[in-house]
Amino acid sequence: MAEVILRNVTKRWGGFVAVRDQSLTVKDGEFMVLLGPSGCGKTTTMRMVAGLEEPTSGDILIGPNRVNDLPPRERDVAMVFQSYGLYPHMTVADNIGYPLKLRGVRGAERQRQIEAAAAKVELGDLLHRKPRELSGGQRQRVALARAIVRRPQVFLMDEPLSNLDAKLRVSTRAEIKHLQYELGVTTIYVTHDQIEAMTLAHRVAVMSQGEIRQLDTPEAIYDRPADLFVAGFIGSPPMNLVRGEHASGVFTAAGGLRAATRIAGHRGAAMLGIRPEDVTVAPAGAGDLDASVYAVELTGDSVLVTAQAGEARLIAKADRAWRAEPGTTIGLKLDATRLHLFDADTTRRLNPE
Structural domains of the chain, with CATH: 4-229 (3.40.50.300), 239-343 (2.40.50.140)
The pLDDT of residue 333: 95
Question: From residue 75, how far is each of 28, 105, 219, 242 by CA, in Å?
Answer: 15, 19, 32, 48
How far is it between the farthest Cα atoms of the chain?
Answer: 77
C-alpha to C-alpha distance for 44 and 156, rounded to whole angstroms? 12
Amino acid present at 220: A
Measured CA to CA, the distance from residue 125 to residue 92 in angstroms comes to: 10
Q: What pTM does this model have? A: 0.90
Question: CB neighbours of 324 closer than 8 A, spacing ≥ 6?
Answer: 293, 296, 305, 330
User: What's the confidence (pLDDT) of residue 332?
Assistant: 95
- The per-residue pLDDT for 52 is 95
* Spatial distance between the Cα atoms of 211 and 34, rounded to a whole number of angstroms: 11
Q: Say what the pLDDT of residue 255 is.
A: 80
Amino acid at 256: G
The pLDDT of residue 120 is 84
Cβ atoms of 229 and 253 closer than 8 Å: no
d(CA 82, CA 161): 7
Summarised one tens digit per residue, pLDDT across range 146-205 is 988 888 899 999 998 887 788 878 888 888 898 899 889 999 999 999 999 999 999 999
- Rounded to a whole number of angstroms, the CA Rg of the chain reads 24
CB hemisphere CA count around 337 (13 angstroms): 0
CA angle 76/175/147 to nearest 5° reads 20
> Which of the residues in the chain have pLDDT under 70?
353
Own/partner pairs for 294-302, CB < 8 Å, 24+ apart? Answer: 294/326, 295/326, 296/322, 296/323, 296/324, 296/326
Nearest to 307 by CA among 286, 281, 285: 281
CA distances 157 to 26, 31, 189, 251, 293, Å, are 14, 11, 5, 43, 43
Q: What is the pLDDT of residue 163?
A: 79
State residue 84's pLDDT score: 75
